[in-house]
Structure 1
Amino acid sequence: MTTTRTTHAPAPPAGNSDLIYQLDDTPAFAPAIFAALQHVLAAFVGIITPTLIIGSVLGLGAHVPYLVSMALFVSGLGTFVQAKRVGPIGSGLLCLQGTSFGFLSVVLSAGFIVKGRGGSEEEILSTLFGICFCAAFVEIAFSQFINKLRKVITPVVTGTIICLMGLSLIKVGMTDLAGGYGAPDLGALHHLALGGLVLSTIVILNRVSSQVLRLSAVIIGLTLGFSVAWLTGQVSFASMAEVPLISVPQPFKYGFSFDFIAFVPIAVIFLITPLETAGDLTANSIISKQPVKGPLYMRRIKSGVLADGCNSAVAAMFNSLPMTTFSQNNGVIQLTGVASRHVAFYIAGILVLLGLFPAVGAVLQLMPKPVLGGATLIMFGTVAVAGIKILSEAGMHRRNVLIVAISLGLGLGVAGVPEVLSQMPDVLKNIFGSPITIGAFSAILLNFFLPDETHEVAEDDYDPEAHMHTVVHGASDEDDENLAPTPLSSDLTPSPHLN
């Protein structure tokens, strides 16, 4: 690509001077690759961290480098599909696909089910990817009906679920910061100091005036923590000699297994994450100066969520976790002024190349747990705060307070006292043992049956830029094109998407 702008690009409308390259412009190689690298930088940690956490918690050590490589590889494929728009699949926006944090708790729960009955590492992976492959079709079907759920999935429901996602994962981040699951010296001062260094670095850099430093805060914090751990003898590269030079993607390398009990909670999350995707696509449309009403917008929402589902199925096929559209990359568009979807092709190429070389995953696997915990503690907290922001926008009147209180109480109660379900049948125990699942069911049922006495804002008066924290603003069944879900925002970048 040699042209700096396409000759047929429309003239920017008023107020659009902050964009150097609009959606359909074609930047020259230099600005395109520079913008792409910043997108990769912003999303890299979010893409690989869920795999690192699951590999660590489930004891999948020998497989982690390959799994990290596949996470990067399928993120590249998914990013290409989302931006290119293959048939009806893909939003056609500059979006980056990555591994979703939203599935962590339910995937870990499924892994423990297999591990608890004596399953090997390969059996755990076979079951996880088999379940995720099947559950992805729930989102594929859901994408065609997302505009019909106004009375069921509202901001108070979505905010509660997202808040539960973050709160239920904070224990994972704190355990890693203290040394990691199974560490004989859990809570040792040198673990806390290392994790505290990473956390403090991210906080300090996030408060500086430089946007580049804020954008790179997590990467810099992890790099600093890793360097200190290496200098103090906590990192050894001896195992690197056994890592192959190239990872060859193999569909269902570990086989294909299915477990219905573990399937249900994962399928439920596949009904939740599309709401965040719709919000992120709306944010992207606003930043890219694209319409947020009408047939074009509605098609982008449906096609973008459809791409999420299809990409998650492909991810499971190539031995990776479910994917979703990342939100932090919208900030990169604002920073660079580059909204061209052609940049996504460069992003996809970089991610695929990173995925083909497992040395990247092997190095990241050596990262001490306190280093990772110092970053993930903030990330998971940010997820919870995002849910709180949505709830505040929804309005905490008496009805909503009741929904949130009961749903959080049930979700966190089950997480803190799992014995409460000990007398239930195994099927119900595993379904409702997930704080996300029981909290989601509670919020949806209460929201549906409790009468809403508040007055809804008329759809014609909806201003998406004035409601940046509301995930879904419903549309009537007769007027699909007025669906206007709005994005989550976070002052901390980069942060994981529920991703």
Structure 2
Amino acid sequence: MATSQHGGEMIFKLEDRPSPVKAFFAALQHLMAIFIGIVTPAIVISGVLGFSTEVSSYLISMSLFVSGVATFIQCRKIGPVGSGLLSIQGTSFTFLSLCIGIGLSVKSAGGSEHEVLAAIFGTCLLASPVEMIFSRFIPLLNRIITPLVSGIVVTLIGMSLIKVGLTDVGGGAWLLRNKPELFASPMNLTLAGIVLLVIILFNRSSNKWLRMGAIVFGLIAGYVVAAFLGKVDFSAISKLEAVALPIPFKFGVSVSWPHLIPMALLFLVTTVESMGDLTATSMVSGEPVVGDVYMKRISGGILGDGINSALAAVFNTFPNTTFSQNNGVIQMTGVASRYVGIWIAGLLVLFGVCPVVGGVFSIIPNSVLGGATLIMFGTVAAAGIRIISSSIIDRRGVLIMALSFATGLGVVFVPEILQSFPPFFKGVFGSAITTGGLTAIALNIILPHDLRKLHVDEPLKDML
């Protein structure tokens, strides 16, 4: 039964069953923390690749639907699949830049929006077993993908996405390509600035609930102002169907072979991220973080991540991962019951089959979205830096960081460096995430560890 919260104790522990009313309101609190994160990748990818409102709305709906199914699998735990914790699944930002890269590659070859999505989902589906396989070899993975390596990759992901966020601030990729004279107009910059300002003000609030919903409130504020100024076309919503049916491979399936290795690398990285998120969930829930029970939950959770990402590809959305946001909600509410996760899953599925929900988000003006994503993507980069800082940075670490950032960002700043490579290798190594990430992994394996460890606060000159 329930226990009273005192200090670090839970109001509802992992196996407690709150009443329907309490479970419902606890689920709503989690939804406030995760909803925008779940739908944002689909919105951003749709905007950059120029998808129609109908397709964009469907992708958003399927993001919600699959996140609900995936959350149910994680919380309920079906056989060896799932962590059995209050572990919420959502669309991963880790794959955002690469999915956009695949889409732009297919579009440049004359592909339609259906062919673009077929290539993205097919590549994701083919690479998803990487996470399933490594879920069986967690100790080995810990030695290969250290916090330094994963921190470098996450930082490069954030840096790659900042350009996308800033483009949206100016009005979006379509406006930049087709009407550059209207790009970064005072109106667009003002709308993005309003969203940024509201997010910053709410984020710095002493009220924990306002902080938790800062991005939601910022988007609402920008959306309302944009609608008042006539920048939102609500007529597009009236054309949507009443129900969004989850249709497997609705857009077909194909594979972008040059992007398969980068995609596999990202599944490897997200495996490590999920290990950290699941460990944090176990810790804040008052559950063990060592021992057999803990290892089974970690392995089951990562196996669930991989299977859920495969399901996401089948049902027309982007790879899923374990969200870290809900850990803060667990701490604030004292509710760690995995049965609350069943309610969250049900609400996500309900929203997912209602196209109007996706439609409302699909018509958000780019500049309004950019005001939020600029912070969100910058936060991804900052999270990578925090992961790096959790390691002791010695001379070896500095060398790995230097070469990984130099090669990763270098191929983006000077893509001509790859001009003598065959097209396949240009596709593989043209990404900052791939080139920098593979450099970090290779150096981490090859370079011997220093006998003398240096601390982070030592002068840089002593490390070189």
The question of a shared fold, defined as TM-score above 0.5 by the shorter chain, is answered with yes
Number of matched pairs? 447
Gaps of 5+ in 1: 457-499
1:28 aligns with 2:19: yes
* Matching residue of 2:332: 335
* Matching residue of 1:135: 127
Kindly indicate whether the alpha-carbon contact (under 8 Å) linking 2:168 and 2:367 is maintained by their aligned counterparts in 1. Answer: yes
The percent of aligned pairs where both chains have the same amino acid is 50
- 1:387 Cα deviation after fit: 1.0
Where 2:321 maps in the other structure, the secondary structure is strand
Where 2:174 maps in the other structure, the secondary structure is coil
- 1:13 Cα deviation after fit: 11
- 1:146 Cα deviation after fit: 2.2
**Residues 454, 187 of structure 1: CA spacing in aligned structure 2 closer, same or farther, 3 A cutoff?**
farther
Gaps of 5+ in 2: 454-464
**Residues 121, 343 of structure 1: CA spacing in aligned structure 2 closer, same or farther, 3 A cutoff?**
same
The residue correspondences of 1:6-21 to structure 2 (distance < 5 A) are: 16-17=8-9, 19-21=10-12
Say which structure is richer in helix: 2
For residues 142 and 14 of structure 2, the distance between their equivalents in structure 1, rounded to whole angstroms, comes to 30
1:69 aligns with 2:61: yes
Runs of 4+ aligned structure 1 residues displaced above 6 Å come to 11-14
Q: 1:84 aligns with which of 65, 76, 82?
A: 76
Where 1:89 maps in the other structure, the secondary structure is coil
- 1:16 Cα deviation after fit: 4.1
* Matching residue of 1:181: 173
1:302 aligns with 2:294: no
For residues 13 and 120 of structure 1, the distance between their equivalents in structure 2, rounded to whole angstroms, comes to 55
Q: After the TM superposition, which of the residue ranges 392-401 and 87-96 deviates more from structure 2?
A: 392-401
For residues 293 and 431 of structure 2, the distance between their equivalents in structure 1, rounded to whole angstroms, comes to 37
For residues 444 and 17 of structure 2, the distance between their equivalents in structure 1, rounded to whole angstroms, comes to 46
**Residues 12, 277 of structure 1: CA spacing in aligned structure 2 closer, same or farther, 3 A cutoff?**
farther
* Matching residue of 1:248: 245
* Matching residue of 2:461: none
* Matching residue of 1:354: 351
- 1:165 Cα deviation after fit: 0.8
Kindly indicate whether the alpha-carbon contact (under 8 Å) linking 1:198 and 1:371 is maintained by their aligned counterparts in 2. Answer: yes
Q: 1:37 aligns with which of 28, 35, 39?
A: 28
Aligned letter for 1:141?
Answer: I
Q: 1:210 aligns with which of 207, 211, 217?
A: 207
Aligned letter for 1:340?
Answer: S
The C-alpha deviation readout for 1:175-195, integer Å capped at 9, x for no partner, is 101111131211111111110
The residue correspondences of 1:110-129 to structure 2 (distance < 5 A) are: 110-129=102-121
The residue correspondences of 1:85-100 to structure 2 (distance < 5 A) are: 85-100=77-92
The residue correspondences of 1:55-66 to structure 2 (distance < 5 A) are: 55-61=46-52, 62-66=54-58
For residues 190 and 112 of structure 2, the distance between their equivalents in structure 1, rounded to whole angstroms, comes to 35
**Residues 352, 455 of structure 1: CA spacing in aligned structure 2 closer, same or farther, 3 A cutoff?**
farther
For residues 280 and 99 of structure 2, the distance between their equivalents in structure 1, rounded to whole angstroms, comes to 28
1:260 aligns with 2:257: yes
Q: 1:155 aligns with which of 135, 147, 156?
A: 147
TM-score of the superposed pair, with normalisation by structure 2: 0.94
- 1:329 Cα deviation after fit: 0.8
Q: 2:39 aligns with which of 42, 48, 51?
A: 48
Kindly indicate whether the alpha-carbon contact (under 8 Å) linking 2:288 and 2:294 is maintained by their aligned counterparts in 1. Answer: yes
Q: 2:367 aligns with which of 349, 367, 370?
A: 370
Kindly indicate whether the alpha-carbon contact (under 8 Å) linking 1:21 and 1:339 is maintained by their aligned counterparts in 2. Answer: yes
The C-alpha deviation readout for 1:137-163, integer Å capped at 9, x for no partner, is 111111111221343211111111111
- 1:15 Cα deviation after fit: 5.6
* Matching residue of 2:388: 391
TM-score of the superposed pair, with normalisation by structure 1: 0.87
Aligned letter for 1:53?
Answer: V
Kindly indicate whether the alpha-carbon contact (under 8 Å) linking 2:118 and 2:252 is maintained by their aligned counterparts in 1. Answer: yes
For residues 455 and 306 of structure 1, the distance between their equivalents in structure 2, rounded to whole angstroms, comes to 38
Aligned letter for 1:357?
Answer: C
* Matching residue of 1:201: 198
The C-alpha deviation readout for 1:259-301, integer Å capped at 9, x for no partner, is 3212221111011101000000010011001100000000111
Q: 1:225 aligns with which of 206, 222, 228?
A: 222
For residues 365 and 142 of structure 2, the distance between their equivalents in structure 1, rounded to whole angstroms, comes to 45
Aligned letter for 1:36?
Answer: A
Aligned letter for 1:311?
Answer: N
